[in-house]
Amino acid sequence: MAKTIVVKQIGSPIRRPDVQRRTLIGLGLNKMHKTRELEDTPSVRGMVNSIPHLVEIIEERG
């Protein structure tokens, strides 16, 4: 079973740089308080770490 993480959007992309908006969309997030379960890979972790003010890791599974 692959390791997964649950990511929740906690900040709004309004008045944020376009690259941060695109990172949120890449994670599958676009609305406040939406959650996604994603594979725990270095690329996903890098995306989450690049916008820590907009997302938080709720849970790590696996």
Question: For the chain, which residues make up each domain, given as ranges?
Answer: 4-61
pLDDT at res. 2: 87
What is the mean pLDDT, run by run of 10 residues, along the chain of 62 residues? 93 97 98 97 98 97 90
**38 phi/psi in degrees, rounded to 5:** -125, 155
3-state SS, residue 57: strand
Overall fold of domain 4-61:
Ribosomal Protein L30; Chain: A, (3.30.1390)
Residue 33 backbone class (left: φ over 0; alpha: ψ -120 to 50; beta: rest): left
Contacts of 60 (CB under 8 A, 6+ apart): 3, 4, 5, 6, 40
Element (H, E) at 60: strand 55-61
